[in-house]
Chains A and B, each alone.
Chain A
């Protein structure tokens, strides 16, 4: 154990002197998280906090259908959505060009009358500079159009069934309960997960963790390159002690970088990670998982360069798949299922659960997911090391 600690202390001195570990382990993820926060933080914020959009509304129809859309827009108006009425299309287009609006709803003449014939067209003009706001406007319009279709069909069906035409107002009111607008409601509904900037910091931290731990285990190959590995093993040091020292350095670097980033996010961004003990468990398991897979690469690779390339590919692939930038798991398809094999997915999932007030019992799936990855890759690394020559 003492020999392992001596080698680890020497390695840490070299890594600290090298300084690149600070760049990869702390500065790069922190900077990227901040940049992404400034760029996309509001959009990625599951609570919708900070997102705002102003929409224009031009009513050239003046009929009931236009009034219905106006009522829908009135309903969503609040802290995040503002509605401005304009008299003409030209006015609203100028406002969009001036970036005063994210999008505009234009109800053309005879819109209400043409609904029955199925030729009604509701126009949405989006601002190319605010794609998210414009996309939401399009979704609102589609939801309204779906509802209008339902109204038309309901009215037609009611008349065919001999309903009292004087009761049509009530039928329309009932059928106009526009469900698609629930998707808009979801934007403003509080969700039990990390806020946008915290999510980004967590994602960047675990993404760069896989690069940071390379500084430990990959130094084994560097020692082989400069010839010191043989000299280490010619000293009264077993191979297990020497490799163990590298793994220990990886683990320490990983834990320190994660701790600095998470504490920094708490202080600087007001991040609330949840139960500290449970978060610590996630961090330790995450570092072990990263160390395991990178140790496996170091056991297989022949050169420092080869190991660096493979490790980078793995780190990026797992990071992207695991949702460190965007939550691929929400896609629901093949990528969603593949993301389950990544420790990143389970790490973020666990932090989401803890961020929503969960405790250790709520992150058991994450513990199993990350721990399983660590055990499998670590076991393979031990096996791979056992099959190679000492020097």
Chain B
């Protein structure tokens, strides 16, 4: 297989803040690659350099064999970008948005019109094609946002957290669309901080934190790298911080982190250790209201590697 994207030692700082510090990875043709990391990890900055929106301080990006920089129009033709925030013209209709961006990629005439109809069908906006985007619901705008990125049938589709702030129904529709594109052979770079999305969509995942790629591989490879540990989520009230500290020192607990009222634990053979975990939590001042034990997953990998919970508000 050939690499559709090759990123080598990519670095970028903003004043004294190092946003990306030497990221390297590749995406093979037809592969769906996930960049998984919490907010502020450096995902969007990495994507911006890959898409030619930001110049890298160091390192290089090649897309479909073409070097990428802010002036690299040839490399940009191979990419379809779906930014995290909406990037459509609210005062233009869906059709006009698609037609305009299609024209920038050299599409015109009957082929453009046909492709617009196809994309409208894919994103489910055929019956609202002539309505202005500002009249759409949030989910419809999100779908149009994706449609613009798909229009010119790019060799590499980059989706930057496309489901942030989206209702569950639209989120599922977006994920199904990405799955369909992936099945159709399109190479996809998908950034997210939702572990479930990365597990569902991606052939390989790169875990990024503090601007560094801390691990990379298939879901199975990554999970196996931390052993057969389970993930335990404790929800409750009281002194969660003290409980987290106490649990971190507990025998069998590999990692413990607290975020948004939930303590996430990576535990060796969780079933046998739950009684002691609950007891220690209570002694530390936490009143546990629910316990959830799950098989090893990417969230556990992230917690294991970074000591931080990936969980975020949804």
Q: Which residues of A contact B (CB under 8 A)?
A: 3, 6-7, 10, 13-14, 17-18, 226-228, 230-239, 389-391
Contacts and interface: CB of A to CB of B under 8 A. Distances in A.
29 contacts: A6-B103, A10-B89, A14-B89, A14-B91, A18-B91, A226-B86, A226-B90, A227-B86, A228-B88, A228-B89, A230-B53, A230-B83, A231-B101, A232-B104, A233-B52, A233-B53, A234-B52, A234-B53, A234-B79, A234-B83, A235-B104, A236-B73, A236-B74, A236-B104, A237-B73, A237-B104, A238-B70, A239-B70, A390-B53
Given A3-B104, A234-B52, A234-B83, 6 more contacts: A6-B103, A230-B53, A230-B87, A232-B104, A236-B106, A390-B70
A14 B92 contact: yes
Contacts of A17: 91
Contacts of A232: 104
B87 A231 contact: yes
B91 A391 contact: no
A17 B96 CA distance: 13
Interface in B69-126: 70-71, 73-74, 76-77, 79, 81, 83, 85-92, 96, 100-101, 103-106
Given A233-B53, A236-B104, A227 B73 contact: no
B87 A226 contact: yes
A234 B73 contact: no
A3 B106 CA distance: 9
Nearest to B75: A236
Contacts of B86: 226-227
B148 interface: yes
A4 to B, nearest CB: 11
Contacts of A234: 51-53, 76, 79, 81, 83
B214 interface: no
Given A234-B76, A235-B76, A236-B77, A390 B92 contact: no
A391 B48 contact: yes
Interface of B: 48, 51-54, 70-71, 73-74, 76-77, 79, 81, 83, 85-92, 96, 100-101, 103-106, 148
A236 B87 contact: no
A231 B83 contact: yes
Nearest to A18: B91
Contacts of A3: 104
Given A230-B87, A238-B73, A389 B103 contact: no
A271 to B, nearest CB: 36
A230 to B, nearest CB: 6
A226 B53 contact: no
What are the 7 closest A-B residue pairs judged by CB atoms, nearest first?
A: A236-B73, A227-B87, A231-B87, A234-B81, A235-B104, A227-B85, A234-B51
Nearest to A231: B87
Instruction: Identify which of B79, B103, B104 gathers the most chain A CB atoms within 10 Å of its CB.
Output: B104
A228 to B, nearest CB: 5
B42 to A, nearest CB: 16
A226 B70 CA distance: 20
A214 to B, nearest CB: 17
A389 B49 CA distance: 12
A235 B105 contact: yes
A237 B106 CA distance: 11
A10 B100 contact: yes
A237 B100 CA distance: 13
Contacts of A228: 87-89
Nearest to B84: A227
A69 to B, nearest CB: 69
Interface centre among A10, A226, A235, A389 (most CB of B within 10 A): A235
B51 A236 contact: no
A236 B73 CA distance: 4
B100 A391 contact: no
A17 B54 CA distance: 33
Contacts of B89: 10, 14, 226, 228
